[in-house]
Amino acid sequence: MPGFIQSDRVQWIGIIFSLLYIVIILVLIHRKKIKEEYSLLWLFSGLVFLIISIWVKALHYFSFLIGIAYPPAALFLIMLIAVILILIHYSMVVSKMSDQIKTLVQEQGLLKMEVDRLRAEKNRAGNQQKTVNKGKRPAAG
């Protein structure tokens, strides 16, 4: 098969873009725009793309292994798998966050009610104190 991806130009572009991609992710982590735990899948997929660009034969072996006649199709498959994994991971993160938000909202509601109640009790106690003092004043005078 005279090369689809064997062409040097495509290989170089593949390597450059994979590296660029990894560097962008690393910079974003460095600037704290992405948390480490959310970047692992991105980095991992970048690494896979880099390996495939450097070692093009691997893609051919892989597509032969799973019975894909046209190796670039296998590349699309790998990219799709990477994106799906990342999206599933995001669903997990969103679910966890919505749980945490629920707990926070509940706690906030409970606390606000307790604060209001304490404030009302304090006011009432203050008012009682005033009326007691008022009652005492004529006797003292």
Partner 1 sequence: MKKLAIIPAYNEERIIVSVIDEIKGFDESIDILIINDASTDRTGQVAAACGRAIVINLPCNLGIGGAVQTGFKYAARYGYDIAFQYDGDGQHIASEISKLVRPLELHEAEVVIGSRFCTSHNGFKSTLVRRIGIKIFKIVNSLLVRQWICDNTSGFRAYNKRAIQFLSSNYPGDYPEPEAVILLGRNGFRMVEVFTEMRERPEGYSSITAFKAVYYMIKVLLAIFMCALRPKIVKE
Q: Return residues touching partner 1 (CB under 8 A).
A: 102, 105-106, 108-110, 112-113, 117
**51 or 92: CB nearest partner 1:** 92
Least distance to partner 1 from the beta carbon of 22, Å?
Answer: 37
Angle between helices 56-65 and 36-54 (to 10 degrees): 90
Q: At a CB cut-off of 8 Å and minimum separation 6, what does 47 contact?
A: 22
SS3 50: helix
**87 or 115: CB nearest partner 1:** 115
**33 or 96: CB nearest partner 1:** 96
- Give the type of residue at 140: A
Two tokens at 132? 């007691």
**81 or 125: CB nearest partner 1:** 125
Least distance to partner 1 from the beta carbon of 126, Å?
Answer: 19
Least distance to partner 1 from the beta carbon of 76, Å?
Answer: 31
- Provide the terminal-to-terminal Cα distance of the chain, rounded to the nearest Å: 113
